[in-house]
Structure 1
Amino acid sequence: MGSVVNYAAVSGNAPLAETLVFATAKVCPENDVWLDSRGALWHPGSRWLAVADLHYGYELTMRRAGGLFPQWGMGDIRARLQALIRHYQPEKLILAGDVMDSSGSAEETLTLLAALQPQVPTLICLEGNHERPALLKRWTFQRWHREDGGYLFHHGHNPQEVLDCPEATAGATVQITGHWHPAVTLNDGAGTSMKLPALIQQRPRSRRTLSVHHHHWILPAFSPWARGGRLPAPAENVRQETWACHQRRVFAVG
């Protein structure tokens, strides 16, 4: 069982988000970055809000393949995004790749993006490995995006392409990606278990190292269907911290 080694959460109700309950925790105290249990990373100073791996339309993909999937996932994604926007009122909303699930959900994804665009001053979409021409030809996607404070966003499916680009990495100290769908499983040893989406923070054991090649944060998947990808093992000189997202708590797990 994973042991809770730290706990820092503020629970509350978003007044404009119906009855959605959420929790937050400061996951980077030196730079004031917060993780919201609804699956988002928030920077109040720069006012950017980042999410990854919506896989919008996943249930449509599964139903077309013959799976008996309920169709509540897209509604859940819309509700959480709208609640986050209303609560934080970000200047920028960063969708860090795999916004769509497959070409079969292109129209639904375009409808979602068109609805989000007027709700935020700037909507930034990054290309992931699930984006298809049916979407890319009709909406602007970027390979990577930089934010003040040394943050470099990209999806993470082809990291070397971004890390080998001097324009992307100049002055960057932390790369923030998605792609891996990190999660943690907690169990009581008696057969009951719970899988929770998680934020992974990998950093060198020496705090003197400030390089985008050494500092890597992996966002939780925003899709309710995408939890529990297999993560690459960190290097020996890298310290990894895991933050689990429960509806009412955000907590570090060791």
Structure 2
Amino acid sequence: MPIPFAGQTLWLDARAALWWPDEQTLIVADLHFEKASFLGQFANPLPHYDSLDTLSRLEELVAHYQPEQVVCLGDSLHDVRAAERFDEVTLKRLNNLCNSICQWVWVTGNHDPEIPAMICGARTKALRLHDILLVHEPVKENAPQIIGHFHPKLSLRIKGQKLRGKCFCVNEARLLLPAFGSFTGGLDSEHDAIAACMREAFSRYLIHRQKVWAV
């Protein structure tokens, strides 16, 4: 679904991604690689398939759009030692994917303040494109911002049917992405933390049944 944002036309993808055609840039947020293996250290009996599933879906997106640039908006790794828990095959696949793109950018987040050298790609705290800031968390600057971090979700009832899923939150100044990772929780889009992030009234776009719906 195309939407206007800060003088640009951006596409909300139902796979929890953002496509910026004029910049040939694919944007995702909050991959949380190796979350299951992290929780497994604390006697949580979870299968460790989340990283592979997240990576497979990311590969599919890249194959679909053939972007010149991919930007991951922070918390790509669930914790500072996550990369050490990658198995050899998954790490190789991730690096092959990074190297297949002209520019792969890891924006750092609160879960991954540093991206280990074993992972290919550029690192930055923020990226600016056409006066739009791409960041993990909102910053105190008046520039329009594309943000991750909050994992927004939406639940509503229409004609007796309950609809629930990830969502995008958008107003003139801020665009909040849903979490891309396969094993990520979510924060209700009506939560005070999201209202504080957006600062003003905002629209929500629900991901439901592989489509994006304006709410």
- Which range, TM-score by smaller chain? 0.7 to 0.9
Whether 2:186 is the aligned partner of 1:216: answer no
Supply the RMSD in Å over aligned alpha carbons.
Answer: 2.6
State which of 120, 139, 162 in structure 2 corresponds to 1:159.
139
Tell me how far 1:120 sits from its aligned partner: 0.9
Match of 2:127 in 1: 145
The residue that corresponds to 1:98 in the other structure is 75
Name 1:248's counterpart in structure 2.
210
Runs of at least 4 residues off by over 6 Å: none
Asked if the contact 1:200–1:217 (Cα under 8 Å) also holds between the matched residues in 2, the reply is: yes
Specify every segment of 5 or more residues in structure 1 that has no aligned partner in the other structure, as ranges: 1-24, 164-168, 204-214
What residue number does 2:62 align with?
Answer: 85
Q: 1:118 to 1:247 in 2, by over 3 A?
A: farther
TM-score, length of structure 1 as denominator length: 0.71
Pick closer, same or farther for the CA change 1:224–1:185 going to 2, 3 Å: farther
| C-alpha displacement of 1:68 | 1.8
CA contact (8 A) 1:100 1:106 kept: yes
Name the amino acid aligned to 2:123.
F
Within a 5 Å distance, the mapping from 1:129-144 to structure 2 comes to 129-131=110-112, 133=114, 135-136=115-116, 140-144=122-126
CA spacing shift, 1:189–1:70, aligned 2, 3 Å: farther
- The answer to whether the Cα contact below 8 Å between 1:96 and 1:127 also exists between their aligned partners in 2 is yes
Deviation per CA, 1:227-248: give whole Å up to 9, x if none.
Answer: 3224332599822011111242
Match of 1:123 in 2: 104
Q: Distance in 2 between matches of 1:113 and 1:121?
A: 15
How far off its partner does 1:113 sit? Answer: 4.3
* CA distance in structure 2 between the partners assigned to 1:221 and 1:131 by the alignment: 15
> What is the distance in 1 between the residues matched to 2:197 and 2:147?
17
- Contact in 1 for aligned 2:18/2:28 (Cα 8 Å): yes
Question: 1:195 is aligned with what amino acid?
Answer: R
Query: Cα distance, 1:119 vs. partner?
Result: 1.8
Q: If the length of structure 2 is used for normalisation, what is the TM-score?
A: 0.83
Amino acid across the alignment from 2:107: L
Contact 2:155-2:163 within 8 A present in 1 as well: yes
Question: Aligned residues, how many?
Answer: 204
Between Structure 1 and Structure 2, whose CA radius of gyration is higher?
1
Deviation at 1:110, TM superposition (A): 5.5
